[in-house]
A and B are shown apart, each in its own frame.
Chain A
């Protein structure tokens, strides 16, 4: 499933609007900017990497390229996914390396007005505040905009 179509629409929709790929993480609706997303993958075989940090779920093979999979549930300190529960991944590129962000479910692409985004409430738990860029109030619930860069800054988290 490719989202290149959505990208085009997003680009044509004017300056203030941003398209987000929405996803579910432990019943929380989240979004990542569509421009960060290279691919969306259904359940994949992920090869575990021994001795890797817990957030690193393993490696997967995306058309001959090795992609490092990061489990966002681990990353955001959410409860583990039940054994056998399906997962999907969002593939993103950072510094010529590919990373797959493992989530519970990827759903539609939403185009939202940037001006409608609200800052993080001060009471947001630090782990969420660290990775959230802001919140949208939507009819179907609150959408947390995740910062892909900060999600991938694993080395830093280890140092802190």
Chain B
């Protein structure tokens, strides 16, 4: 039977039962408006759905009944027993038809004119005798449908029940607890050896597994549910783009956890939309290429080893590597040199990068910058991966691999120092046993580039992080000679996590971490192991992010060492270059340089007394080592790009000389700002760059002297209920040299005030729950330590009326939420004005 019909039957049976009860109640209290509108709504819904499903008999009867009910509701009719009987008779007739529908899958043949006529008479106010209608229904027909009605009792109507999602979630939690307890018992039993408990425990264990499976099943939904809107979407797209598209769907019945399903809905829709819009050609192009006019999009879903694989494939253009390269270059996502060494697969993976879209034109359908990067991050958020395969001229195929469920996962238990951690199995690619340092045990060994550990794994260089160091664990025992590298898939790349030991895999129940620990993004949750101990679950993507951050920190550390002249016997990769017209080379540790660029002269623009260029979709300040001007000539400007967190700046140099491996040993301190001193590098004296000087220089200039070198940083308080905006604003303002404190609500901010927090200015959101920005401003202005501070409103709405309301409440300025420039300007003015006061 059609799924829609089955669903309709379940729903209608429920509605009818409810309507029956309500009608009887109505007869007793004819004036009860609430009951009346309830019945009206129920019948109306039935009518609407019948029309939609193409069930004319039902529709007509329901329509006639609705007419009567409408008049009752509008008080044109009184609910006399006669009228109610007519409606009840109509409901009975609906039940009969529904029963027939349930038995055969289609409406039984029959004539409802009598019933409809009775209803029409009732609607017209000619109250028929109570019971007349019921008698009027032809006996023959009643007999005709009686048998299927009895059968229907046992079919769809009674075989499904509706359970709220909450109940299912609660069951899932309980089963999770049960699994944990079972694991604990098994652990004890294993330690005890054979005992009288062993056999029943085995049985308990089996039942628990079955129960877990059963409860998981209740949460399972066929993936077809996430696909049912796609045929329509594709049809509309085909229409709009003038393409002929056929959508093939396979494996709709593949089931996955509803939570996962919900999270997959949007990415899938987006991918299909992309395939239709960018992937497939127009009929002319297809004909010219010798392909059938109709393009195919194929969706396929199936189970594979505890995961669901979803394929989204089209037989269109395929990805054009040449075009992607051009695009990558023009967007500044990578340099030519970097692209040259990349494999085709790596180049193709650029379509997952933020700010990349191959469509030349922005169409109404796609190409608005929300692209495959969002798709990938959504998939990764639920612990999935996405891969792509594409042949030019033959099409593209995306393969998504996602876990069946998020609640119970299989995880690898590892040890770092004295602590154990769980790594979700889905992201583990392989385990490699290695020697801890060059010359250690085994043929595989960890090598170092500068201070960064790497592993040569077959044909690739695998970046490594040492879990113990990353988590700042204290090592109580001696460093073991060998370690294990857990190779994990993060984003489109791989990362090796160095751990001391690997235990076994265990089914773990993922529990969210306490709110006060949410900021530690390296953990995706915590769990209780079979032995009762609580351990943290690592999120490899979070580890990768943190590793990126801590790597820059570590590198800054080496810079400081150089500054104090500490002897460092480690060889460092040093970049030698010439700048400021000087013939003596200058040096900078290569690890501090995030990339080398050559920028066309025409791309360098003057702005605000400095130089900038558009780099990766953002403006990057350029600083010259001499007078700040680009070094002469028409050749492209060589630039060293330094990145620190979200900020980056370019240092313009004359030429890049070489990269040498040498000890960085500064022997003469420098009196000149921006240089640490002189070191002997590769046999000649070179001045060593103080990168932090140039970074601060670039960014202080950039933000218009928001903070002058000698005064303390300005302190800001941000009041913003949205975590998203807090995360957006705090780093941006911190980057501009402010000391930022964030509060999630007006009340929290006021508490901070009462605790004596001193700030120089306050930025507050307007739309907030409980105490909105206006109320907050009034309280601040009423008195207390902050009464005279600059108070800047941030709002999504910035009409003059809103602004006037803001000023009235005490705000000194009003900025639009997304306009960082205006905010900076406003801050600068407010703070300067305050200094003058």
| A interface residue numbers (CB < 8 A to B) | 45, 47-53, 56, 58-61, 64, 66, 68, 95, 97, 99, 126, 130, 152, 154-156, 159-160
Contact = CB atoms under 8 A, between A and B. Distances in A.
B716 to A, nearest CB: 12
A76 to B, nearest CB: 15
Interface stretch (B249-257, B330-338, B525-533): B525-533
A121 to B, nearest CB: 18
A154 B533 CA distance: 25
A82 B680 CA distance: 51
Given A45-B533, A61-B533, A130-B755, A52 B517 contact: yes
Q: Of A51, A53, A126, A160, which is in contact with the most chain B CB atoms at under 10 Å from its CB? A: A51
B514 A160 contact: no
Contacts, number: 68
A121 B535 CA distance: 43
Interface string B486-521: 000000000000000000000000010011110010
Contacts of B515: 95, 97, 155
Nearest to A99: B514
A50 B514 contact: no
Nearest to A64: B177
A72 to B, nearest CB: 14
B534 A66 contact: yes
Nearest to A50: B471
13 contacts: A47-B534, A49-B520, A50-B536, A51-B471, A52-B520, A61-B528, A61-B533, A64-B528, A66-B527, A130-B755, A152-B516, A154-B516, A160-B752
Contacts of B804: none
Q: Of B517, B535, B757, which is in contact with the most chain A CB atoms at under 10 Å from its CB? A: B517
Contacts of A45: 533
B526 A59 contact: yes
Interface of B: 177, 180-181, 419, 471-473, 511, 514-517, 520, 522, 526-528, 532-536, 741-743, 748, 751-752, 755, 757
Given A51-B471, A61-B534, A160 B517 contact: no
B100 to A, nearest CB: 49
Contact of B511 (A66, A152, A154): A66
A152 to B, nearest CB: 8
A56 B517 contact: yes
Given A50-B471, A51-B520, A66 B752 contact: no
Contacts of B755: 126, 130, 160
Contacts of A154: 516
B752 A159 contact: yes
A50 B419 contact: yes
Contacts of A160: 741, 752, 755, 757
Nearest to B515: A97
A49 B536 contact: yes
Contacts of B533: 45, 47, 61
Given A45-B533, A61-B528, A156-B748, A68 B743 contact: no
A66 B532 CA distance: 10
Given A97-B514, A160-B752, A51 B472 contact: yes
Given A47-B533, A50-B473, A51-B520, A66 B528 contact: yes
Contacts of B534: 47, 58-61, 66
Contacts of A156: 748, 751-752
B741 A159 contact: yes
B517 A61 contact: no
4 closest pairs, A vs B, by CB? A50-B471, A59-B534, A68-B514, A47-B534
B522 A56 contact: no
Contact of B181 (A51, A64, A97, A159): A64
Nearest to A129: B755
A56 B526 CA distance: 15
Q: Of B515, B522, B527, which is in contact with the most chain A CB atoms at under 10 Å from its CB? A: B515
Given A59-B526, A64-B180, A48 B516 contact: no
A25 to B, nearest CB: 20
Nearest to A130: B755
A68 B517 contact: yes
Contacts of B516: 53, 56, 68, 152, 154-155
A58 B536 CA distance: 10
B408 to A, nearest CB: 14
A66 B181 contact: no
Contacts of A97: 514-515
Nearest to B757: A160
Contacts of A56: 516-517
Contacts of B751: 156
Nearest to B536: A49
Contacts of A51: 471-472, 520, 522
Contacts of B535: 47
B183 to A, nearest CB: 10
A130 B359 CA distance: 58
Given A49-B520, A61-B532, A68-B517, 4 more contacts: A50-B471, A58-B534, A97-B515, A159-B752
A156 B473 CA distance: 26
